[in-house]
């Protein structure tokens, strides 16, 4: 196995552990803190695996997460970061169609997070985000991240079904 794949997967595993820890955190700042660490490991994995669109997307996500952690993420900054994510991601894309998946996933999820307060819509967005990242991570051989993407996707789908009555009762 090539050395870059080993290093990329070590960082991918560390990223997967961090995102798993973030999911169980109850405090928003704790959750964001673990996601900051997650994104740092993602960036290192992206460098090792030569996936530059994901690298730029994750770098923008790191900035977004740090601003959110410091409570300085405004709608204007969010818009700028989404535009930056798209432009930098397209410029750096070296994986063709697969390289578009992280760009689409990150930009669309960021937009939806700031345009809705509906928990179910956010869960649907998270599932689509995770599926796009799964395809990308599997293709670039970041297997620990791909597995975690799938596990979190399935867990989120389960949450959607468990909570669907709660949200349909509110609508009635």
Given a contact cutoff of 8 angstroms between Cβ atoms, the answer to whether 15 and 144 are in contact is yes
Given a contact cutoff of 8 angstroms between Cβ atoms, the answer to whether 57 and 94 are in contact is no
DSSP label at 73? -
The mean per-residue pLDDT over the stretch 140-152 comes to 95
Comparison of pLDDT for 20 and 118, the residue scoring more:
20
Range of weakest confidence among 44-53, 85-94, 122-131: 122-131
- The confidence score (pLDDT) of residue 84 equals 96
- The confidence score (pLDDT) of residue 97 equals 97
Given a contact cutoff of 8 angstroms between Cβ atoms, the answer to whether 53 and 103 are in contact is yes
Residue 125 pLDDT level (bands cut at 50, 70, 90): confident
Given a contact cutoff of 8 angstroms between Cβ atoms, the answer to whether 99 and 81 are in contact is no
In the structure encoding, which two tokens stand for residue 52, read together?
A: 């530059």
Q: Is 142 helix (H, G, I), strand (E, B) or coil?
A: coil
Which residue ranges make up each domain of the chain?
3-163
Total-model pTM: 0.86
- Rounded-to-integer distance, Cα 13 and Cα 144, Å: 5
pLDDT at position 40 over 60: yes
Phi first, then psi: give them for residue 95, nearest 5 degrees: -120, 15
- The confidence score (pLDDT) of residue 171 equals 53
Comparison of pLDDT for 137 and 23, the residue scoring more:
137
- The confidence score (pLDDT) of residue 31 equals 87
Compute how many other C-beta atoms are within 10 angstroms of the C-beta atom of residue 150: 16
- The confidence score (pLDDT) of residue 113 equals 75
Going from the C-alpha of 161 to that of each of 51, 120, 128, 164, the distances in angstroms are 34, 10, 15, 5
In the structure encoding, which two tokens stand for residue 72, read together?
A: 């300085």
Residue 20 CA to its chain's centroid (Å): 12
Q: What is the pLDDT of residues 57-97, one digit of tens each?
A: 999 999 999 998 998 988 899 999 999 999 999 999 999 99
Given a contact cutoff of 8 angstroms between Cβ atoms, the answer to whether 127 and 108 are in contact is no
Q: What is the pLDDT of residues 96-110, one digit of tens each?
A: 999 999 999 999 988
């Amino acid at each position: 196995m090539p050395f870059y794949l080993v290093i990329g997967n070590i960082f991918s595993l560390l990223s997967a552990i961090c995102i798993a820890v973030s999911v169980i955190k109850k405090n928003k700042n704790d959750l964001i803190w673990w996601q900051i660490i997650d994104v740092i490991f993602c960036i290192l994995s992206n460098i090792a695996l030569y996936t530059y669109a994901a690298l730029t997307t994750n770098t923008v996500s790191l900035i977004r997460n740090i601003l959110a952690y410091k409570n300085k993420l405004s709608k204007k900054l969010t818009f700028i970061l989404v535009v930056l994510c798209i432009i930098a991601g397209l410029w750096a894309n070296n994986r063709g169609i697969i390289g578009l998946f992280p760009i689409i996933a990150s930009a669309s999820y960021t937009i939806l997070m700031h345009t809705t307060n509906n928990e179910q819509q956010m869960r649907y967005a998270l599932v689509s985000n995770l599926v796009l990242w799964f395809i990308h991570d599997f293709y670039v051989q970041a297997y620990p991240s791909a597995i975690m993407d799938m596990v979190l996707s399935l867990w989120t789908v389960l949450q959607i079904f468990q909570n669907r009555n709660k949200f349909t009762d509110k609508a009635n």
